[in-house]
Structure formats: structure tokens, C-alpha cells
Chains A and B, each alone.
Chain A
């Protein structure tokens, strides 16, 4: 009876219109722009190029370099965040002395703005004035080119990502660990299962659903990395640390090449979707088993 009440439209339509206005319309507009050659500076009248922008992008080595760089940062950083974060969460869950203090202190990096973290990191990694190289020079080591060599710079960015976002993994994993039933562990102890056996046989499988979620969230977030790279290296040296978002920013807000940037954004969306779907498909059998 209530389902046919026309009053429902009064509640539904404003919400639908808001969603259309702030989400769907810009998406459609951006999608149509991706088929245009459209520059704001210098002003060039929009011209339909159909898949021209996509073809150019796919032939552009800089695009593939950005994909590779972003993927490297995302997979290495998230992998290490997960391993370290899970380990620390296990330690905190074991009720070590001063656990509360550790818990608060370990969460602090996550509360800082990435720009501020990147600025501090840039100073720490400064080859001559930075404390890190000064410390290393005390042992007679030469100044390391932290931000001026592509490999080192990538390593520094990954290190900062790990430092800042491992607390998120700790927080989530600790919450998961605290919901695990005690009786399973008591039964395992009665069977004389070692700590390692308890971890592999009980903790890890039971934590798999939450692990999958945490890694998924961090992976998607890591693909969107921008501020840390922008402040620490600006994408350099050359384009060695240029990520997809930074590449899009350079094209969109420096060169105002709007059509090309829209195409880039959609390719980015497709890449993220493929990674997300593949990840979930690979994990599905394991997740179903752990239910």
C-alpha cells in the first residue's frame, strides 16, 4: 500500500538529482570531453577526435612510465604496510607493557597531512643539509643521492608511504584481532599447537576477510598518490617518480590540455577497475573457504 504512495517521489527525486548533479553529470561531461581536442591555453576551439586522445596516450611512453611507477609504489608500499602493520597489531594485541602508549604513538603519522609529512621528508632526505646523510657521514659513508637519483627517490617515496599509512593497517588489523574468539586459541593450546601453527592455522585465515579489505582500500588509495610525490620530487628526476595523478595534474592544470587529461582520467579509472576486479577475483576462493 505504502509502496504506491506518491509521496515517495518527494523524498527520492531530490537525492537522485543531487547525485546526478554532483557525480553523474561531471562524469558524462568529462567522458565526452575525452573525445575532443580541447585546450584552454592557448585557446583552441574544441574539435572532435574520437579515440585520438586514447590512442595518443596508449602510444605515449610517459603514460606507461607513470603506470609502472604508480604500480611499483602501490604494490611495494602496500605489501610492506600490510606485513609491518599486521606484525605490530599482533604485538599490540599480545598486551605488551605500555601498549596504550604505543597504540597512540603509532597512530600519529596517519593523522598528519601528507603534504606536511612530505615536506619534513624532503628535509630529512636533503643530500647535504638533511640529518640522514649527516648521520651516515658520521660512519664515513658518502652522501647518498636520496632525491636526485630515480631509484633512490622512488625508494624514499615508498618509505614515506609506509611510515604514514602503516598505522591505518595497524588500526584495522588490531580491531580485527580483538574480535577473534578466545576459545579457538584455548583449544589449540590444549593440542600443543605452537605460536606459529596458531598464526597460520587460526589467526591468518580468520583475519583474511579484513586483510583483503585493508589491502584493497590501501591499494586503491596508493594508486591516487599525488601530494607526497609532488612535494618530495615533483615527479623527477626526469619523470622517474611521476605517478598517474601527477601526470594528469601536469596535463590538466599546467598545460590545460583538457581533452587529453579527461582521456587520461578514464584510462586511470579503467586501470584501477581492472586491478580491483582482478584482486577480488583472485581472493574470492580463499575468502569463500574462510567463511
Chain B
């Protein structure tokens, strides 16, 4: 009997010691907490969340359950859950453009997270603009998104190609400075008989199509002389999408669709990456994933031959105020922050708010996010200064020259003088749906670029009136970083 009691005591002590040691390893201790995160279907972003989840579990003993939805279903799922005050999700991952719709249901980022080394490391374009809504921070960027240019260095450095190009177009073959040059290059390399096409962009409805069109149009409509007037007039909230700058952008976007592989009209961004990595195209535009995937020898046929640059620009930009083209002394690039990078936020009704923000801290820490950024397929592109400064980190996937060009393009785009911000407005889907429909018609040749954009502008103005012009104007100015209108 005595022996049994002694044995039980010893066992209990051993268990207690083991438990206290385990708890000591959990800092802060969130054992027993399971966070549920809404994400788009992996690997993009969902795998980055899982990477962060593994690190957070090691650190805090809490668990993270990543619930994945197809891209087209993510917005309705999150909206339904938020508006019903349903605590299904402890965290939601989403596009910055949706932030205005979600803000009434999100908790504010703890003040303690809004300072310090890690906070300052986030690029100002995200920290001071895309993460901010009406002066408050409701979300944290977990991905940086800006469109850049990708090209095949083997083709661009081939002396025969260079000579032939110069003979035909009268200037040197190099990453394009203007969209006209971009189309010239695409036309030059359009060789279907050799399995090579000019360029690849997304053209499919529901396939991230309109961001590619916006990238073309940004060069002609994001005028530094009248800031924030790319999508709407920031004084009146009148739609600008049918002005001559936008029409020129659409004409060139349509031209690009004819200089791609035969099924280009069915391309979403995934197919663009496949075409680039498969060596099917000479050049392309898109998010930073393209460069990372193209550099990966496991996924790419052009590994080691990947060049990057800032998007082409223009020396003529439409001025929405004077309704004239402004001429600039040199070509002004307008890198477009398409989509703006995935963000994560914590719903007000979430049961584990403290733990959720702690998870965000780990997920977006320079170490964890840096690892995600160099892992092909996570969908995470640089959004911290440390991401683009650490050449050693990128040498794991890029050659020194590739790394230099890739990181240079990313940093120069995000910090560009005339960087174009994506549209963020309440009712975002209503605004972009009509763009997708009319782009489809224009790409199929069923309507002219001007007629397509006139229809979009009419619908945008109608929507603005329906949602409340003053309210939308205030939201648009806030999104474009302009002060409130008196």
C-alpha cells in the first residue's frame, strides 16, 4: 500500500514537472487555443499562413486551423460571417480593396504592435497607406503586391536578336521604358511556329484580369499634377475610367492579348506564370510570384535566365482636371500596386483576439515572412524593407544578377515617385464586376474600347449615386491618401 502511494506521488510529480517545463516553452502560453483563419485555397497565401502557423505553434503551443475557400468564394464567405456577427473566424485574410467593406466589423490593431523595429521595417506604402483606413489600422499586410515586368535574359542578350530588333525598330532591345516598346518587343518575339510568343497577361474574367488592364492604364492616368485622380475625380467623384488615358490603356491591353499564346484570352495569373516558366513567352507583367516561380529550376525551364524591371511608363499623362494630356520631360513610370498584397485582420466578434494578434505578429515577423517570400508558391512577395535588402536570403533561389534585378524592381516600384494605388472603395465588387464584363466584350471585339469604358463609367457613376456620393468621395480620398474634403 505504502509502495503504491509512493509510486503515485512520484508519477504525479514527474507529470507536474513535465507540464511546467512544457508551459515554460510556450511563450506566451496559448495552449488550448485554436485559431481559425479564412484563406483563399492554397498553395498561394494558405501555405504562407500554415508556415506562420507552424512557427506560432512552436512558440505558443496554440493551434491554427486554416480554412480555405476558392478565390471567388472568399469575399462572400467573409462578408456573410462578419455581417452575421458570427465568430466562425478568429482571423480573416483578404484583399486591401475589401477593407472598406470589412472595417465596421474589425478590431483595431493593438497600439503596441504599431511601433518598434518590426513595424518600421514594413514598407511605408503598406504601413502608411494600404493598412490605414480613416486614420486607423485594422489590418496587417502579409504580402506585398505590385506589378513588375519579367523578361527572358537569354533572348534579350542574344546578339542576333539584338541586331535584328534594332534593324526593325530602330532602338536597342532592352527592358521597355514605354508600353509602345513593350508591344514592339512582344511583336518581335511573336513566333508561333517556334513555340514562342510575345507576352502573357491575364485576360480571363474572374482571373485577376482587370488588374493587368489597370497596370496599362496607370501609365496614362496616374498624373502627379493631379494626384488621386486615376479612377475618380477626387473633387467630384465623377468616374474617370472612360477618359482618353484609360482608352489608350485598354487599346494597348487588347493589342497585348493578340501577342500572346493562342489561348491567352483564357489566362488567369496562374496560366501567366506557367507560360513564363515554360519559356513560352519573351516577356510578361504580373506580381512578384512570376519571377520567383520562373527562377525555380523545379518549376521552370528558364531558371537562371529571368530578368525583372519596373513596369513601363509614359511621358504623356491625361490630366483629369484640365482634360488635356500633360507632357513630361522624360518617361514617368507609374508602377501599379495591383491588389495591394494580402492582409490579415481580426474580427471584433473573435473569441481569441489577443492570441489572434499575436499570431499575426509571428506570421508577419521579418524572419517568418522573409522565409515565405523566398518560397515559391506561398504567394508572398516582398513588403518589408528587410525583404528586399537581404540579398543573401534571395541567393537561395536567384543568381546574383537575377536577385539584383528582381529586388531592384520590387523596391523601385513600391517606392516609386509616381506609384499608383489600387482602388479601395465600399462596394468594390459592384465597381469591378462591370469592368470585367466590359473588358470581356472589348477583348472579344464585340465593342470598341471607348464604348466599353463609357458603359463602365456610366455604371460607376450610377453606383456612386446609389451608395451616396459624399460618402464614397470621402472613402476614395482616404484610400488615395488625400485629406478630407471640406
CB distance B263 to A238 under 8 Å? no
Query: Which A residues are CB-close (under 8 A) to B204?
Result: 234, 236
**Chain A residues, Cβ within 8 Å of B467:** 39, 42, 44
- Residues of B near A257 (CB, < 8 A) are 430
Q: Give which listed residue, A40, A148, A239, A253, contacts B266 with CB less than 8 A.
A: A148
CB of B101 within 8 Å of the partner chain = yes
Tell me if B205 and A128 are in contact (CB < 8 A). no
A231-268 vs B: 1/0 string, CB under 8 Å?
00011111110000000001001111100000000000
Give the residue among A39, A42, A129, A257 with the most B Cβ atoms within 10 A.
Answer: A42
Residue of B nearest to A127 (CB): B263
Q: Mark B249-276, 1 if CB is under 8 A from A, else 0.
A: 0000000000001110110000000000
Cβ-defined partner of A128 (8 Å) among B104, B261, B471: B261
The 8 Å CB contact of A127, one of B83, B266, B438, is B266
Assess whether B444 is in contact with A238, with CB atoms less than 8 Å apart.
yes
Q: Is the CB of A250 within 8 A of B433?
A: yes
Q: Are B438 and A238 in contact (CB under 8 A)?
A: yes
Partner of B437, one of A129, A147, A150, A238: A238
Given A43-B104, A150-B444: A254 and B75 within 8 A (CB)?
yes
Q: Are B79 and A148 in contact (CB under 8 A)?
A: no
Residues on B with beta carbons closer than 8 Å to the beta carbon of A237: 205, 265, 440-441, 443-444
Residue of A nearest to B442 (CB): A238
Measured CA separation A62–B75 after assembly (Å): 23
Interface residues of B in 422-470 (CB under 8 A from A): 426-427, 429-430, 433, 436-438, 440-441, 443-444, 446, 466-468
Please measure, in the bound complex, the distance between the C-alpha atom of A40 and the C-alpha atom of B430, giving whole angstroms.
12
Contact of A145 with B by CB under 8 A = yes
User: Chain B residues near A234 (CB, 8 Å)?
Assistant: 72, 204-206
Task: Determine if B116 is an interface residue (Cβ-Cβ < 8 Å).
Answer: no
Residues 106-129 of A at the B interface (beta carbon under 8 Å): 126-129
Tell me whether A149 is interfacial, beta carbon within 8 Å: yes
B76 at the A/B interface (Cβ < 8 Å)? yes
Judge whether A143 is part of the interface by a CB distance below 8 angstroms: yes
Q: Which residues 12-44 of A sit at the B interface, judged by CB distance below 8 A? A: 39-44
- Selected contact of A235 from candidates B205, B444, B466, CB within 8 Å: B205
Query: In the docked arrangement, what's the CA distance between A145 and B258, Å?
Result: 13
**What 0/1 readout, one digit per residue, does chain B (98-119) give for beta carbons within 8 Å of chain A?**
0011001000000000000000
Q: Chain A residues near B79: list those with CB within 8 A.
A: 40-41, 256
Chain B residues within an 8 Å CB radius of A147? 266
Tell me if A42 and B426 are in contact (CB < 8 A): yes
Query: Min CB distance, A107 to chain B, in Å?
Result: 30
A236 engages B440 (CB within 8 Å): yes
Size class of B's contact patch?
A: 20 to 34
Contacts of B72 in A (CB 8 A): 234
Contact B427 A41 (CB under 8 A): yes
Q: Which residue of A lies closest to B475 (CB)?
A: A42
Q: Which residues of A contact B443 (CB under 8 A)?
A: 237
With contacts A149-B444, A236-B440 taken as known, whether A254 is within 8 angstroms of B433 at the C-beta atoms is yes
- Residues of chain A contacted by B83 (CB below 8 angstroms): 40-41, 43
Nearest CB in chain A: distance from B478 CB, A: 14
- Out of B263, B427, B437, name the residue touching A148 (CB < 8 Å): B263
Closest to B432 in A: A254
A127, B76: Cα distance in complex, Å: 31
* Closest A residue to B439 using CB positions: A238
| Closest-CB distance, A33 to chain B (whole angstroms) | 15
Q: For residue A256, which residue of chain B has the nearest CB?
A: B79
Contact A148/B261 with A41-B427, A42-B101, A255-B429 known, Cβ cut-off 8 Å: no
- Residues of A whose CB lies within 8 Å of any CB of B are 39-44, 62, 126-129, 142-143, 145, 147-150, 234-240, 250, 253-257
B→A interface (CB under 8 Å):
72, 75-76, 79, 83, 100-101, 104, 204-206, 261-263, 265-266, 426-427, 429-430, 433, 436-438, 440-441, 443-444, 446, 466-468, 471
- 9 tightest A-B contacts by CB? A127-B263, A42-B426, A238-B440, A236-B205, A148-B265, A238-B441, A237-B440, A234-B206, A253-B76
A128-B263, A238-B446 known; 15 other A-B pairs, CB under 8 Å? A40-B79, A41-B427, A43-B104, A44-B466, A128-B262, A145-B263, A148-B265, A149-B444, A235-B205, A236-B437, A237-B441, A237-B444, A238-B205, A255-B430, A256-B79
